[in-house]
C-alpha cells in the first residue's frame, strides 16, 4: 500500500536514482526497505560534527539495514556529503524542520546542547531518544541516563577543565550507551579537490617530491586565544626550511589574509601563501597534499585528523585531553595557571606565548621521525 511504502530509494515527487517505472510497492527489483529509521541531530561546529562521525559505522553494524538521516547546519554539509554511512543528509531550514515533525523514527540521537537542536529533538517523534532535548521550561535535559555526565561536563568548569581525562569520542560513545571502541573520523573527499590542490600548489612553485609542511595560522573569530604568535610562526617556518629543507605552505581562511601576508613578509626563507579564498573542500585538498600540519585547536585540526595527516598541535585556552590524534601526531600544552579558560579574547595570551618555536620545531622532528620509523617496520 502506498501509505506504508518504505523503500529507501523512493523519491516521492520524482523518479528514484535507478529511473525505473516505480510500481510503488515491493514488486520493484530495486525495492529495499528502510529498516530501523535513525535520526542524528548534530548541527555545529564543523569540527564537532566531524568528530561525531565515528558513531556511524557502529550504528550501521548494530542495525545493518538501517536508514540514517543526519540533519546539520548548512556550513557543516561539506564534511558530511558523500559519507557512505549517511542515507539522507539534511540542513536546518523551515522545510526540513516541518518535514521531520511529520516523520517518525525508531531512534533519535541529539548530541548538541543548544536551543535549536534540542528543540527539534523534543518535537520529533521517535520511539527511543538519546542525548539531549529541551524541556517546556526552556532548559536542556538529558534524554537517557548515560548522557547525564556529558551534560554535567558542560556546566562544570572543574569537571571539564581539570577532572575529565576522556576524549570527545569516548564521552560521546558513553553518552549513547555504545560499548564499542570508537574508530576514525569518517569523511569523503572527491578526487577533483585533490586535483585542484595539486594544480594550485604546482602553480605556486611547490615541488611535490619534497617535504611539504602546512602551517595553519588562524583560529577563527570566536577564539582568538587559540592563535599562536606571528613571530613564532615566522621563526618556525625558517627553522623547518633551514634544518629540514621543508617547503612551507601557509594555510588559512578569509580572516588570515593579512596575517599570512605578514608572516610571509617576515621570514628569511621563502614560504608559499596558499591563499585564503578556497572553499572548504578545496581547503581540505590543500591539507591533503601536506606531509605534516601544524595548527592550533581549530577546524583545520579536525580536517587534518579526518584526512589522517601527521599533526603537531598546541593547546592553551581549550582542553587538549578531548582531542585524539590517533597516534599520528603530538600535542603541546601550555600548562599555565589560567588555562584552560575557553575565553574568546585575552590581554596577555600567556598560554600561546609559553609555547615556543623551538618546542614546535622539536615536535615536528619527532613526529616525522616516528613516521619514518613506522614505514621502515
At residue 376, the pLDDT reads 59
Question: What local confidence, expressed as pLDDT, does residue 1 receive?
Answer: 44
Tell me the mean pLDDT in the region 21-27: 79
Q: How far apart are CA 35 and CA 24, in angstroms?
A: 17
**pLDDT of the residue at 190:** 97
Total number of domains in the chain: 2
Q: Give pLDDT, residue 373.
A: 63
The C-alpha atoms of residue 70 and residue 41 are separated, in whole angstroms, by: 6
Query: Within its chain, how far is the Cα of 151 from the centroid?
Result: 21
Predicted TM-score (pTM) above 0.85: yes
Task: Give residue-wise pLDDT tens across range 177-197.
Answer: 999 999 999 999 999 999 999
Q: Which residue has the cell 581549530?
A: 298
Reported as a single tens digit per residue, the pLDDT across 241-293 is: 999 999 999 999 999 999 999 999 999 999 999 999 999 999 999 999 999 99
Residue 8 lies in a domain: no
- Distance of alpha carbon 121 from alpha carbon 114, whole angstroms: 11
Same domain, 211 and 136: no
Domain holding 118: CATH number? 3.40.50
Q: Give the residue from 140, 175, 210 where a domain finishes.
A: 175
- Residue 181 within any structural domain of the chain: no
Q: Is residue 138 within 8 Å of 166, Cβ to Cβ?
A: no
Same domain, 257 and 297: yes
Is the pLDDT reported for residue 145 higher than 80?
yes
Please report, for the domain that includes residue 281, its CATH number. 3.40.50.2000
- CA separation for the pair 22, 25 (Å, rounded): 8
**Domain annotation covers residue 3:** no
Separation between Cα atoms, residue 247 and residue 208, nearest integer Å:
10
Residue ranges making up the domain that contains 96: 17-175
Query: Which three three-digit cell numbers place residue 289?
Result: 597534499
d(CA 213, CA 292): 5
Question: Does 69 fall in a domain?
Answer: yes
One domain for residues 246 and 367: yes
Domain boundary at 144, 175, 206, which?
A: 175
Evaluate whether residue 264 is within a structural domain: yes
CB atoms within 10 A of CB 63: 16
Q: What share of the chain is helix, strand, coil (3-state, %, to 5)?
A: 40, 15, 40
The answer to whether 189 and 288 have CB atoms below 8 angstroms apart is yes
In the prediction, which pLDDT does 24 show?
A: 77
Write down the pLDDT at residue 222. 74
Model pLDDT for residues 27-54, shown as the tens digit of each residue: 888 888 888 999 999 998 999 999 999 9
**What one-character-per-residue DSSP string does 21-90 give?**
---SSTTSTT--B--SEEEEE----HHHHHTTTTHHHHHHHHSTT-EEEEEE-GGGHHHHTT-TT-SEEE
Amino acid at each position: 500500500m502506498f501509505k506504508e511504502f518504505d523503500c529507501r530509494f523512493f523519491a516521492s515527487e520524482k523518479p528514484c536514482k535507478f529511473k525505473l517505472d516505480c510500481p510503488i510497492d515491493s514488486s520493484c527489483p530495486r525495492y529495499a526497505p528502510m529498516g530501523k529509521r535513525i535520526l542524528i541531530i548534530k548541527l555545529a561546529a564543523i569540527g564537532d560534527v566531524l568528530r561525531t562521525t565515528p558513531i556511524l559505522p557502529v550504528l550501521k553494524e548494530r542495525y545493518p539495514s538501517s536508514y540514517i538521516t543526519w540533519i546539520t547546519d548548512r556550513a557543516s554539509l561539506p564534511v558530511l556529503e558523500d559519507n557512505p554511512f549517511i542515507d539522507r543528509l539534511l540542513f536546518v531550514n523551515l522545510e526540513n524542520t516541518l518535514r521531520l515533525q511529520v516523520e517518525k523514527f525508531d531512534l533519535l540521537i541529539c548530541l548538541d546542547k543548544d536551543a535549536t537542536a534540542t528543540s527539534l529533538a523534543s518535537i520529533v517523534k521517535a520511539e527511543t531518544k538519546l542525548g539531549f532535548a529541551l524541556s517546556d521550561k526552556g532548559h536542556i535535559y538529558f534524554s537517557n541516563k548515560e548522557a547525564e555526565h556529558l551534560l554535567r561536563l558542560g556546566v562544570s568548569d572543574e569537571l571539564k577543565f581539570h577532572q575529565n581525562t576522556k576524549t570527545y569520542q569516548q564521552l560521546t560513545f558513553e553518552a549513547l550507551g555504545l560499548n564499542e571502541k570508537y574508530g576514525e573520523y569518517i569523511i569523503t573527499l572527491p578526487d577533483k579537490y585533490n586535483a585542484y590542490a595539486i594544480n594550485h600548489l604546482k602553480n605556486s612553485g611547490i615541488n611535490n617530491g619534497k617535504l611539504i609542511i602546512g602551517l595553519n595560522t588562524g583560529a577563527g573569530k570566536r577564539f582568538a586565544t587559540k592563535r599562536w604568535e606571528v613571530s613564532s610562526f615566522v621563526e618556525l617556518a625558517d627553522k623547518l626550511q633551514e634544518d629540514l629543507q621543508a617547503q612551507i605552505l601557509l594555510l588559512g581562511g578569509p580572516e588570515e589574509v593579512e596575517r599570512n601576508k605578514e608572516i610571509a613578509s617576515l621570514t628569511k626563507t621563502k614560504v608559499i601563501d596558499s591563499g585564503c579564498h578556497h572553499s572548504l573542500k578545496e581547503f581540505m585538498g590543500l591539507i591533503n597534499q601536506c606531509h605534516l600540519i601544524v595548527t592550533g585547536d581549530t577546524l583545520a585540526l579536525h580536517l587534518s585528523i579526518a584526512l589522517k595527516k601527521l599533526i603537531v598541535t598546541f593547546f592553551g585556552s581549550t582542553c587538549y585531553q578531548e582531542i585524539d590524534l590517533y597516534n599520528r601526531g603530538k600535542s603541546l600544552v601550555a600548562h599555565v595557571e589560567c588555562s584552560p579558560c575557553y575565553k574568546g579574547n585575552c590581554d596577555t595570551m600567556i598560554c600561546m606565548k609559553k609555547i615556543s618555536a623551538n618546542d614546535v620545531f622539536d615536535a615536528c622532528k619527532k613526529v616525522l621521525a616516528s613516521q619514518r620509523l613506522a614505514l621502515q617496520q
